[in-house]
């Protein structure tokens, strides 16, 4: 993975996500998922949280971030949900758009070595690949949640 590929994957995944959202109305985005699970608004807030965490990683070159990274996944996701569930959709959408723009700018500022050398990030385990951590929390994360938006388009 090189920087241009990381940026291309990130842009494509985000554009695909945005295209799916653009085909939905507000009621669909706000409706709880199957079984009363998260709405797409909740998913968007969740994605934005992860984007902001990657922005901080890339800017600071320090693997620190939120204390919630140390929590079990379900607890972390629930805390992100609780922090955002009462916020208006427009605020969530605006925040995600801003986070995405900042993320891309940060990724563009990376050096190629930053993607492959964990020692360039304080606190990163030496067996980690920085690009994989970034990918898991950006474009792969959008791809993971895309079926939720697509299911609303079908139903």
Q: If DSSP states are collapsed to H, E and C, what string results for the chain?
A: CCHHHHHHHHHHHHHHHHHHHHCCCHHHHHCCCHHHCCCHHHHHHHHHHHHHHHHHHHHHCECCCCHHHHCCHHHHHHHHHHHHCCCCHHHHHHHHHHHHHHHHHHHHHCCHHHHHCHHHCECCCCCCCHHHHHHHCCHHHHHHHHHHHHHHHHC
Are residues 81 and 37 in contact, defined by beta-carbon separation less than 8 angstroms? no
- The pTM of this model reads 0.95
Q: What is the pLDDT of residue 41?
A: 96
Residue 123 lies in a domain: yes
Q: What is the pLDDT of residue 52?
A: 98
User: Alpha-carbon distance 45 to 84, whole Å?
Assistant: 7
Residue 61 lies in a domain: yes
Q: What is the pLDDT of residue 131?
A: 98
Q: What is the pLDDT of residue 155?
A: 62
Place of tokens 């930053």: 114
pLDDT in tens, 23-74: 999 999 999 876 668 999 999 999 999 999 999 999 999 999 999 999 999 9
Mean pLDDT across the chain = 95
Range(s) of the domain holding residue 58? 38-150
Residue 32 lies in a domain: no
Residue 6 lies in a domain: no
Residue 131 lies in a domain: yes
Residue 95 lies in a domain: yes
Q: What is the pLDDT of residue 34?
A: 62
pLDDT tier, 151 (very low <50, low <70, confident <90, very high otherwise): confident
Residue 1 lies in a domain: no
Q: What is the pLDDT of residue 82?
A: 96
pLDDT in tens, 82-97: 999 999 999 999 999 9
Question: How many independent structural domains does the chain possess?
Answer: 1
Residue 10 lies in a domain: no
Q: What is the pLDDT of residue 26?
A: 95
Residues whose CB is less than 8 angstroms from the CB of residue 80 and which lie 6 or more positions away in sequence, other chains included: 45, 46, 49, 68
User: Alpha-carbon distance 144 to 147, whole Å?
Assistant: 7
């Amino acid at each position: 993975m090189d920087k241009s590929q990381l940026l291309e994957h990130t842009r494509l995944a985000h554009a695909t996500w945005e295209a799916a959202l653009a085909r939905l109305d507000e009621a669909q985005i706000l409706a709880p998922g199957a079984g009363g699970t998260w709405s797409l608004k909740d998913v968007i807030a969740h994605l934005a949280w992860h984007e902001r965490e990657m922005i901080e990683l890339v800017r600071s070159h320090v693997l620190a971030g939120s204390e919630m990274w140390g929590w079990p996944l379900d607890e972390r996701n629930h805390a992100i949900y609780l922090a955002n569930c009462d916020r208006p959709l427009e605020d969530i959408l605006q925040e995600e758009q801003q986070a995405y723009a900042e993320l891309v700018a940060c990724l563009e500022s990376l050096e190629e070595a930053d993607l492959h050398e964990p020692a360039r990030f304080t606190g990163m385990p030496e067996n980690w690949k920085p690009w994989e951590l970034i990918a898991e929390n950006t474009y792969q994360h959008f791809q993971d949640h895309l079926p939720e938006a697509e299911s609303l388009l079908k139903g």
